[in-house]
Structure 1
Amino acid sequence: MNGAFKTAVTKAGIDNFHFHDLRHEATTRLFERGWDSMSVSAITGHKSLQMLRRYTHLAPSVLINKLDAPLRTVMDV
């Protein structure tokens, strides 16, 4: 699998991207879609919250949207 991945990355012209980076990406995307920590760790296999947090890279815009959502709900009433 790693050989095929390297070939695809090279053909795509992407620099400094490794198969392991996909684990970080998947973990982040699950949280962005509203998954809870227990469910994400069950999927990713992380045994501690500390490791799960290390693999999570939420964009500031995602956090802002989460903060704004309750306000938008109240303002719509």
Structure 2
Amino acid sequence: MAAWIYTADGEFESLAEAIEAYKERVRKQEQEEHRAALQAAQHDPGVQSWIELANNEAALQSVAKHILPIKPITTA
């Protein structure tokens, strides 16, 4: 007769199965928390301003490379 392990994640015949189910539940929970945090950050005005600032800086650097190409330094 097999001993059953009862947990919040279900019924398992072995401790290894119970641990694996627990790890899977924790992994899914962490993914959901991460997704929710990213979604909340996207609507945060402070985060939006930093994203806009970074995009503007990248655009300015790109334009500057075309307008003022870097000249090699020569020594006399």
TM over 0.5: no
Structure that is richer in strand per residue: 2
More relative contact order, 1 or 2 (CA 8 Å, 6+ apart): 1
* Greater Rg by CA: 2
